[in-house]
């Protein structure tokens, strides 16, 4: 398909990748969106991702006339999806964890190199290379996430995503599967450009987890399973489908910060895993209490797809009739509506909030244990604590 376009980094952005950048972040505002560190990088990242998804040769031109139609279709489809916006949460977490791990390892950009334009340096410092590769991890995380959403919409026959018509609703299932595959292919090229086999292996495991998690979700729950067994299976599925991406991205940025510090790698991984599970639990809760406009998709969508999430599993302990509906995947007429009413009148919502809080606190413990805490570390902590009261 051609040479992978170079990802450009301004000196200003690289400076913010260092541990000294944290002074630009407002510690009084818990919102990650207000962080100059995150804003600058994520804004640039959205542009860089779009550049990676348009087939080009080394000069930036379409490779040949035969590719014009392919380029046009891919360009329209990918632009349509990314212009709808999104939380960009996964790259945000990756960037913050990378910055926190760099601080933990006392990495910083020498002042004499900051003042010199990159193009004029005889050699880029090892720290700048680390920052560039951590930035790429954020890109890859968002691209894998996006591809998985495109594929999920095909599997679920979803007509909306982020408040607009889904890609498959506009272009059909075949084209949607192909564009999801293409996004994964481009993400793989960026991953290989990092040139670190251990990082490549960690990030590649995300794809495996996504597939296995989807198979787990599609599987029929054994009728003899106990409530606790169902919950264990649900958390494992949640890890594979959601938390693995957070966890492995965090581990990868930690490996890039210091390849030999296994404790740092595991701490970063556990932060991502616990945050990812808390995030999905919050999504499960919002499926019952948020409006469709807030969620960007129909409410009670999981029930209509035959999925049993944490609030449902907890409610089953109080209302055995809900288990009967769960086993038939809420397929009978009125099942989804009746199940929603039962859940709303059970203690399933409160128990789910307690579970969110438990996983959030575990994530806080992991972030708090990082040495040389900086503003990025504090933002990771605030992000974990915000999951219980998240509104969308």
Average pLDDT over residues 151-164: 76
| CATH 3.40.50.970 fits domain 37-51+71-387 | no
Looking at residue 18, its pLDDT comes to 44
Percent of the chain with pLDDT over 90: 51
Task: Name the band, by pLDDT with cuts 50, 70 and 90, for residue 38.
Answer: low
> Which single residue is written with the structure tokens 């090892």?
126
Residues 313-344 have pLDDT tens digits of 999 999 999 999 999 999 999 999 999 999 99
Residues 83-138 have pLDDT tens digits of 666 788 999 999 999 999 999 887 654 444 444 454 444 445 677 888 889 999 99
Average pLDDT over residues 2-19: 45
Looking at residue 196, its pLDDT comes to 97
Looking at residue 68, its pLDDT comes to 47
Residue 132 and residue 126: Cα distance in Å, rounded?
10
Residues 66-88 have pLDDT tens digits of 454 556 677 777 777 776 667 88
Residue 258 and residue 127: Cα distance in Å, rounded?
11
Considering the entire predicted model, what is its pTM?
0.84
Q: Is the pLDDT of residue 22 over 50?
A: no
**Domain ranges across the chain:** 37-51+71-387
Looking at residue 25, its pLDDT comes to 32
Which pairs from 173-179 meet CB under 8 Å and 24+ separation?
A: 175/73, 175/77, 176/77, 176/150, 176/151, 177/150, 177/151, 179/74, 179/77, 179/78, 179/81, 179/150
Looking at residue 124, its pLDDT comes to 54
Per-range mean pLDDT, top range of 37-46, 273-282, 283-292: 273-282
């Amino acid at each position: 398909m051609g040479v992978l376009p170079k990802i450009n980094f301004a000196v200003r952005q690289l400076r913010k990748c260092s541990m000294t950048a944290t002074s630009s972040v407002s510690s009084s505002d818990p919102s990650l969106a207000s962080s100059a560190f995150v804003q600058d990088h994520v804004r640039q990242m959205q542009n860089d991702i779009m550049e990676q998804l348009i087939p080009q040769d080394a000069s930036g031109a379409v490779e040949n006339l035969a590719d014009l139609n392919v380029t046009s279709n891919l360009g329209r489809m990918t632009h349509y999806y990314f212009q709808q916006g999104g939380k960009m949460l996964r790259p945000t977490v990756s960037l913050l964890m990378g910055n926190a791990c760099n601080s933990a390892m006392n990495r910083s950009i020498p002042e004499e190199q900051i003042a010199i334009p990159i193009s004029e340096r005889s050699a880029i410092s090892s720290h700048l290379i680390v920052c560039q590769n951590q930035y790429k991890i954020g890109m890859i995380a968002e691209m894998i996430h996006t591809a998985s959403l495109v594929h999920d919409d095909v599997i679920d026959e979803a007509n909306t995503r982020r408040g607009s018509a889904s890609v498959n609703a506009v272009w059909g299932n075949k084209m949607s599967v192909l564009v999801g595959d293409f996004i994964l292919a481009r993400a793989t090229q960026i991953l290989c450009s990092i040139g670190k086999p251990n990082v490549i292996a960690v990030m590649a495991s995300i794809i495996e987890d996504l597939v296995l998690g989807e198979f787990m979700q599609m599987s029929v729950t054994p009728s003899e399973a106990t409530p606790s067994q169902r919950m264990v299976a649900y958390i494992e599925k949640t890890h594979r489908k959601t938390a693995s991406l957070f966890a492995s991205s965090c581990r990868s940025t930690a490996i890039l910060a210091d390849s030999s510090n296994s404790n740092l790698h595991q701490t970063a991984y556990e932060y991502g895993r616990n945050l990812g599970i808390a995030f999905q639990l919050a999504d499960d809760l919002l499926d019952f209490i948020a409006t469709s406009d807030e969620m960007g998709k129909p409410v009670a969508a999981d029930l209509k797809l035959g999925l049993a999430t944490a609030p449902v599993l907890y409610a089953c302990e109080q209302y055995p009739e809900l288990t009967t509906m769960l086993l038939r995947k809420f397929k009978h007429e009125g099942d989804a509506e009746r199940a929603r009413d039962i859940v709303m009148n059970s203690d399933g919502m409160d128990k789910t909030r307690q579970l969110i809080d438990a996983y959030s606190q575990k994530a806080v413990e992991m972030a708090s244990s990082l040495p040389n805490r900086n503003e990025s570390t504090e933002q990771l902590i605030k992000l974990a604590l915000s999951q219980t009261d998240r509104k969308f």
